[in-house]
Structure formats: structure tokens, C-alpha cells
Amino acid sequence: MEVNLRDSTEEKSNSKVMKEMIKREHPYALYFFLLSVVILALSCWVIWFDAIKLRPWISYQKEYYLLKREQLESRFKNVLDKFQSVVKLWNGLILGKHQKKYPIIA
């Protein structure tokens, strides 16, 4: 019987210790959660600040890229027109030679 009494008193003391540990750990969990929220908010602010506020030259860069694209499109159109005129000339020469050898009967 003595063993059972000792076990029950040890269980009671263990449960008291566990309850005290839970009470002690609870504020740390709350502090951890609050600190995590603060770090998350700070990280979001840093990303926003770096991407938007810290770089005012982005609008100039977008305008530059737009101008460059327009210039390249006009140059491409000019080169394409020249190429098509050369192709027409070449086709005219080839077809002209074949028409002399093999006239089309209409």
C-alpha cells in the first residue's frame, strides 16, 4: 500500500510541475507569435520600400524601353520593306527568264 501512496503523491507533484511548466511556456509562445508577426510585417515593408519607393528611376527606364522598342520596330519595318523589294526583284528576274524559255500561252 505504501507504494501506491507514494506513486499517487509523485503523480500529483508531477502534474503540478507540468501545470507550472505550461503556465511558464504560454507567454513565450505569445511572445514568439508576436515577434513573428512583427518580422513578417517588417519584411513586407522592406520589399515594398525597395521595389517602389527606393527606385524612382523605374518610370524613366520604362519610357526608355518604350522608345527603344519603337525605334527597333521602325528599323525592322524598313529592313523588311527592303527585303520584300529584293524578293520581288529576284522573283521578277527568275520568272522573266522562265517566261522567255517557256512562254505562257494564254
Residues 62-76 have pLDDT tens digits of 999 999 999 999 999
Q: What residue spans define the domains of the chain? A: 1-55, 56-106
- What per-residue confidence (pLDDT) applies to 1? 43
Q: Report the alpha-carbon distance of residue 23 to residue 21 in Å, rounded.
A: 5
Above 50 in pLDDT, residue 99? yes
Residue 104 pLDDT level (bands cut at 50, 70, 90): low
Higher pLDDT, 15 or 31: 31
Core vs surface per residue 43-56: b (16+ CB within 10 A) or e: eeeeeeeeeeeeee
Residue for cell digits 525605334? 71
34-43 pLDDT, tens per residue?
999 999 999 9
As a three-state string, the secondary structure of 54-106 is CCCCHHHHHHHHHHHHHHHHHHHHHHHHHHHHHHHHHHHHHHHHHHHHCCCCC
